[in-house]
Amino acid sequence: MQKEVSIMEKKISIFPLLLLFIFILFSGYLFYLNNSLKKELTAIKNENDRLSNLISTLDKAEGEQGNQPNNFPGLSDLNIRRFKKKGIADPANYIVDNLLKSPKLIPVEGTMGGTPYFDRSTTRILSKQWVYTVFSDGHFEGKALLKYEIADDQKINWKVIDYYLE
């Protein structure tokens, strides 16, 4: 009988050691996971800062341009002449109208039943290839930088370069 008790005692004393080992492994995993998440969070914060600076720069440029919907200072006379040679009589409005007809470019889905749309009054042509615009669905607002190219057949090819949700 004495032998059986000591074997039982050994089994009991191994159990806490096993629990301690499992606890140490789990703690190590949590430490690793925490460090990975911290690195990812830092990267996200850096990207957020970069995008915030870009948006701030664009907002400043927008403020300098005024709030007139037809105020498109980004197209130089040379750009306008080039677009007119392609058969586009009013390049600025042609570009903006095409963008407004392309809500699928908006990189986020509508929320609470809203349908995302681009806002004409805050759309600015920055140059012969860049457009800055605000989009919304009535519940959220975002800002986007898009690249465009007008082909010889007057078709506009769009690409979302970056966006930011408020």
What distance in Å separates the CA atoms of residue 54 and residue 162, rounded to the nearest whole number?
9
- Max avg pLDDT among 18-22, 132-136, 139-143: 132-136
pLDDT of residue 8: 55
pLDDT of residue 165: 83
Beta strand ranges found along the chain (DSSP E): 117-125, 130-136, 141-150, 156-165
What distance in Å separates the CA atoms of residue 139 and residue 42, rounded to the nearest whole number?
28
Beta bridge partners of 131: 125, 146
Provide the percentage of residues in the chain whose pLDDT is more than 70.
Answer: 85
Confirm if 158 and 99 have CB atoms less than 8 A apart.
yes
Nearest to 126 by CA among 87, 151, 161: 161
pLDDT of residue 69: 44
17-37 CB burial, b ≥16 within 10 A, e <16: eeeeeeeeeeeeeeeeeeeee
Handedness of CA 23, 29, 32, 33 (dihedral sign): negative
Beta strand ranges found along 9-111 (DSSP E): none
pLDDT band at 67 (very low <50, low <70, confident <90, very high): very low
| Ramachandran angles phi, psi of 153, nearest 5° | -85, 10
Question: Which one is predicted more confidently, 18 or 111?
Answer: 18
| Ramachandran angles phi, psi of 148, nearest 5° | -135, 160
Question: Which one is predicted more confidently, 98 or 115?
Answer: 98
Inform me whether the pLDDT recorded for 9 exceeds 70: no
Report yes or no on whether pTM surpasses 0.75. no
